[in-house]
Amino acid sequence: MTKLNIVILAAGMGKRMQSALPKVLHHLGGKPLLANVLETARTLFPEKICMIYGHGGERVLQALPDSDLIWIEQAEQLGTGHALMQALPALDKEGLTLVLFGDVPLIKKETLRKLVNVVQGDRCALLTAELENPYGYGRIIRAPDTGNVVSIVEEKDANPEQKLIREINTGVMLIPNKYLHDWLPRLENSNQQKEYYLTDIIALAVNNGVDIVAAQPENTWEILGVNNKAHLAELERIYQNEYAKKLLEQGVTLADPSRIDIRGQLICGRDVEIDVNCVFEGQVVLGNNVTVKANSILKNVSVSAGAVIAPFSLIEDAEIGDNAQVGPYARIRPGTRLGSNVRVGNFVEIKNSTIANASKVNHLSYIGDTQIGENVNIGAGTITCNYDGANKHRTIIEDNVFIGSDTQLVAPVTITEGATIGAGSTITRDTPSQKLTLSRAKQISIDGWVRPVKNKK
């Protein structure tokens, strides 16, 4: 099989983004634009991937610390041809080089494979597209007899007849390496911008009698680039719509496919239902018959079969057991594991805790650094006091414990199996099994006390 090199051009400043962040590091689908391109490039299993970087170089390198990449700096941005020149020493003498762009994030692997497949022998290949409005793009001129590409005419140089052509150059191209080593040093910058244009290679190919063929993407949005925040928002919505279509094809029920955001990977079992305005970040796995209600956010979460996530729940780096119920308005923080049939209700926050099967924390509670056994009931307003101002401590609540409302458990402390804690208690010592433990001040009534009244203005 022919060796494939890939060069990704990612050195541009992106002035129109109006941001200090390098353009290729702005996110689409939860990943930097450049990471999206790189992910697709890797599906072709190339021999090497060269990344051309420039503006914000250190930040770009830090964002993608992949050891298999060849990083090449383009200190001066003197055009796309100049960018590829920087990679020339790293390219194999034989094989093919595919040129991609770090700000064109939606191009599909199927499209790139199609482009690779049209190249036979020593031909060059371009990715072109048919646009309803081709204004601003270079037009593809084909030979009437062979249909091969013979030139690319830029908008400013096109005559009225050529401007009617709807087939445009996307910039993505596939060139045999032996030609690149010959042609790139011959590029000239005798133009107004004093830049070296990669498209000038087409003229060199034609002059050398090399055939230039073309392939086209299934969707024109695949070739759209990001130049400003409006473009970024447009492509983000395309990405989300495409992801929603895939979920629907897999049998996921979406209340409104236009109101879901996946910023990573969402893996769904059978008969999953997702309501509106839900956000999924990182890797989220939803088991069979899981329901996620409106306005919930899940990040790096595994939700087992039959669980229900009620509206306005925020769950991060956690595991939710089968048939569990979470929310509404629950916050499940990193390190939390909920067992089967656990119930976590409204305005409950849980952090770095394990709650075993069939236990309940239904109302207005904070549970942090805690191990809770099975069949435990945590009353409303209960908190685990896990922080002493310097260190975190753990609370252990064993099986079949009942915690009365408005209780404070001051860690480190163990509530032994079967214990009951009376409402309004502050527990600072381990409690005995199967007994009621209280810690309340003696109730008194004060004679002669008068309720304060508001001062008159």
Give bridge partners of residue 167 from the DSSP assignment. Answer: 130
Q: Which residue has the tokens 């990040």?
A: 299
Token pair recorded at residue 82: 């100049």
Catalytic residue among 27, 55, 181, 363: 363
- Going by C-alpha positions, the residue among 448, 452, 418 that lies closest to residue 435 is 418
End-to-end alpha-carbon separation of the chain, Å? 90
Helix (H/G/I), strand (E/B), else coil: 315: strand
Contacts of 178 (CB under 8 A, 6+ apart): 93, 94, 122
Is 181 catalytic? The answer is no
Contacts of 99 (CB under 8 A, 6+ apart): 6, 7, 9, 80, 84, 171, 172, 173, 174, 175, 198
Q: How far apart are CA 218 and CA 204, in angstroms?
A: 29
Q: How far apart are CA 52 and CA 70, in angstroms?
A: 9
Contacts of 144 (CB under 8 A, 6+ apart): none
For 109-164, give the DSSP string.
Answer: HHHHHHHHHH--TT-EEEEEEE-S--TTSPEEEE-TTT--EEEEE-GGG--HHHHT
Contacts of 62 (CB under 8 A, 6+ apart): none
> Would you please indicate which residues are annotated as catalytic (active-site) residues?
363
